[in-house]
Structure 1
């Protein structure tokens, strides 16, 4: 499934929160949690983008995880750049 198929910005944010929680091993993270403050590193960023590729069917550059460190910020970029096709 691509982002397009019945996805909303809220769905993308919820997906990113779940991916961050799983990848960082921190179940209490929310959409405003910071990747760096939660202990994120380059390996974790690659895990996040790999999981997003599996879930969304699009390649998300790992640099976006560093540039937009919260799930909400990254979701906004993913929606805008990779949108609902």
Structure 2
């Protein structure tokens, strides 16, 4: 768009740093202070791929049990649970 700065993945760019730390955003996965606390306690990060697979399998199983061919999700928490996307 004309007149708008281009923001790429350059972490040295102040706009990129600001976008990643300030304002409205959705953080997927744990963030600080959880990461530091887990590391200090000797805990390992959860396997997010396994967690997503579990959730999808659970949803699919429930759809089969209910004899439902599909679902529409409107609530943001339900969408994030099912798709792991904001």
TM-score, normalised on structure 2? 0.28
| Structure with bigger gyration radius | 2
The one of the two structures with greater contact order (alpha-carbon pairs below 8 A, sep at least 6) is 1
TM-score, normalised on structure 1? 0.28
Bigger helix share: 1
